[in-house]
Amino acid sequence: MKLDQVADDINVKGNKFVLIDLPYGRTALEPYMSRDTLDLHYGKHHAGYVDKLNDLIKGTEYESMSLKELIVASRDTDDAVFNNAGQNYNHIIFWQSMTPKYEDPSEKLLSKIDDSFGSIDEFKSKFVDAGIKRFGSGWVFLVVENSKMAWKTTPNGDNPVGDDVEVLAACDVWEHSYYLDYKNDRKKYLETWIDKLINYKFIESRFLES
């Protein structure tokens, strides 16, 4: 198993992928995301994708690949591997895209946001629009494309890995991410996520690397 740029060694142990540690405690995101949601979402859903992925790739050519290589190799050819690998990658980014200690973006990041979206308000409203318009289960990714930031959405477990973009952040819009706390109000979840949970430090660290 190869180490992965996004997952580093925290995602791989021996010949298996492992569930990454949450970067905060299970109650740390309250009141915006509850312990019940994290218990279910991280402890059951994300853990389930990792276990399933390990079962699926055992003894196959996929065993020698990194997570990103697996996603690219299985896209369009092996739905089960692709979905579980994609969901593992997406959740690794998602947990780190949130913080219990919200801080406004730095001046440097803010100027990149202004350059890409026109203003921080436009950055936020484009995110909420993107998340609402993604029908059914899926993801909203903040990416860098042609040196500008943009919001992209994908269905189910898909992601922009393999596209000519850098992924800076991810927001899960599957119902399991918000239903316990927001019921069917995806808009309120998205507005809370972008105002209270988003981790600008994580985004900035990745932006500077890209």
Q: Residues in the site for Fe ion, rule: CB under 5 A?
A: 172, 174
Interatomic CA distance for residues 153 and 140, integer angstroms: 4
Give the separation between CA 33 and CA 193, rounded to whole angstroms: 9
Nearer Cβ to Fe ion (24/174): 174
> Is the CB of 172 or the CB of 181 nearer to Fe ion?
172
Shortest distance, position 126 Cβ to Fe ion, whole Å: 22
Rounded to a whole number of angstroms, the minimum distance from the CB of residue 4 to Fe ion is 19
Cβ 160 to Fe ion shortest distance, Å: 17
| Residue closest to Fe ion when measured from CB atoms | 172
Query: Bridge-partner residues for 98, per DSSP?
Result: 198
Q: Are 29 and 193 in contact (CB under 8 A)?
A: no
Question: CB-wise, 4 or 172, nearer to Fe ion?
Answer: 172
**Nearest by Cα to 72 from 63, 64, 81:** 81
Of 158 and 172, the one with the shorter C-beta distance to Fe ion is 172
In this structure, what is the dihedral angle of CA atoms 161, 1, 42, 183, given to the nearest 10 degrees?
30
Instruction: Report the C-alpha gap between 201 and 23 in whole angstroms.
Output: 13
Residue (132 or 174) nearer to Fe ion, CB? 174
- Give me the least distance between CB of 102 and Fe ion, in Å please: 21
Place of tokens 């026109």: 118
CB 93 within 8 A of CB 170: yes
To Fe ion, the closest distance from the beta carbon of 77 in angstroms equals: 24
